[in-house]
Amino acid sequence: MEHIFFPPLSRIAVCGGTHGNEMSGVYLVREWQKQKVDESGALSITTVLSNPPAVNVCRRYTQTDLNRCFTNALLSSPITDTTPYEMRRAQELNAQLGPKGSEKAMDLLIDIHNTTANMGLCLIFYSSDLMMLHIYKYIQSKMPSVPVRAIIMDIPLSEAFSLESVGKHGFAIEVGPQPNGVLRADIFNLVKKSLDLAFEWIQEFNSGCTFKAGEVEAFTFVKSVDYPRDPATGEITAAIHPQLQDADFKLLRRGDPIFLSFSGETVKYDGEDNYPYFVNECAYYESKTAFKLAEKTTMTFPSISVKN
Ligand SMILES: [Zn+2]
């Protein structure tokens, strides 16, 4: 693989509260805004509370999920009186931190999320972003006592729907388990530590270090699995099986229990061996997702350094 040069990362955005009830990002951004942490050496760091009305009412969103509003189509759709708040807010954020795909966009955009699932620390990013594999590998190597994983989304940037896609580079930090509306110090500290390490990597990169080629393990989405439902009413008829609960990223094999019905029957898994994640994520009941399944892959990346 040929060596790649990237321009320095000087303008960084750190966003929290994109989902208004995911508290690590809300409080971290507020704290940094209080301390006016916006200069870290030569870095310019912009902190943004992405969805203040949703934060105020401690809900994921007010009208529609902000973190699904950053596709090129939605960012360029006309605003009318009936446009949901979050679609308008997405266009404001795109003007402030982007525009997506342009030279003016932030060099790196980090968006902080929490999950109610037992996922540890996950970095989520798009497959085209080779630099993110380096940052992921760095964070993973410096936090050996914590499960640090990467979930890679393989869709074109124009269809990328989440806030981090507005930056030239970007990733979401997804950390759990933490209930919605709740702040846990252990989870908060994981977020803080991973951000510190990301900044450390950026400083080293900007100062001219060469980062060697290598490979890392990552997960890619295969499909979502819904709860068993009553065909007449659509109501769920089972909960996640205790054996699957909290077992995110543990290989799920055909025949393993996945649901326990309210009448006491076990529903067994009947698919290819895959890795479950977002198991019993609170926010996904409305999108009819009990858990997602991923494949484990090995991603190789080239050596990189800064282009001055
Ligand atoms: Zn979120």
**DSSP states of the chain:** ---EEE----EEEEEE-SSTT-HHHHHHHHHHHHHT--EETTEEEEEEES-HHHHHTTSS-SSS-GGG--SHHHHTSPP-TTS-HHHHHHHHHHHHH--TTSTTS-SEEEEEEE-SSS-EEEEEEETT-HHHHHHHHHHHHH-TTS-EEEEEE-S-GGG--SGGGGSSEEEEEEEES--TT---HHHHHHHHHHHHHHHHHHHHHHTTPPBPPEEEEEEEEEEEEPPPB-TTT--B-EEE-TTTTT-TTSPB-TT-EEEEETTSPEEEP-S--BEEESTT-GGGTTTT-SEEEEEEEEEEE--EEE--
Going from the Cα of 125 to the center of ligand 1, the distance in angstroms, rounded, reads 14
Q: Judge if pTM exceeds 0.85.
A: yes
198-253 residue pLDDT tens: 999 999 999 999 999 999 999 999 999 999 999 999 999 999 999 999 999 999 99
Going from the Cα of 45 to the center of ligand 1, the distance in angstroms, rounded, reads 21
What is the structure's pLDDT at 35? 80
Residues with CB under 5 A from ligand 1 (ion): 19, 22, 113
Going from the Cα of 162 to the center of ligand 1, the distance in angstroms, rounded, reads 10
On the question of pLDDT at 160 being above 60, the answer is: yes
Neighbour count for residue 11 (Cβ, 10 Å): 18
What is the structure's pLDDT at 176? 97
Return the C-alpha torsion angle 277, 280, 281, 287, nearest 10: 100
Task: Sort strands 257-261 and 238-240 into parallel, antiparallel or unpaired.
Answer: antiparallel
Class of domain 4-218+299-306: alpha beta
| 103 counts as catalytic | no
Pinpoint the residues of the chain covered by CATH 3.40.630.10: 4-218+299-306
What is the structure's pLDDT at 38? 55
Going from the Cα of 304 to the center of ligand 1, the distance in angstroms, rounded, reads 30
| Interval 111-123 mean pLDDT | 98
Binding residues for Zn(2+): 19, 22, 113
On the question of pLDDT at 36 being above 90, the answer is: no
Pinpoint the residues of the chain covered by CATH 2.20.25.160: 224-290
Distance CA 91, CA 104 (A): 15
Going from the Cα of 141 to the center of ligand 1, the distance in angstroms, rounded, reads 25
Going from the Cα of 199 to the center of ligand 1, the distance in angstroms, rounded, reads 22
Q: If we measure between CA atoms, which residue out of 115, 58, 102 comes closest to residue 278? A: 115
What is the structure's pLDDT at 308? 81
Binding residues: 19, 22, 113
Spot the catalytic one: 164, 174, 204, 265: 174
What CATH number should be reported for the domain whose range is 224-290?
2.20.25.160
Please provide the average confidence, as pLDDT, over all residues in the chain. Answer: 96
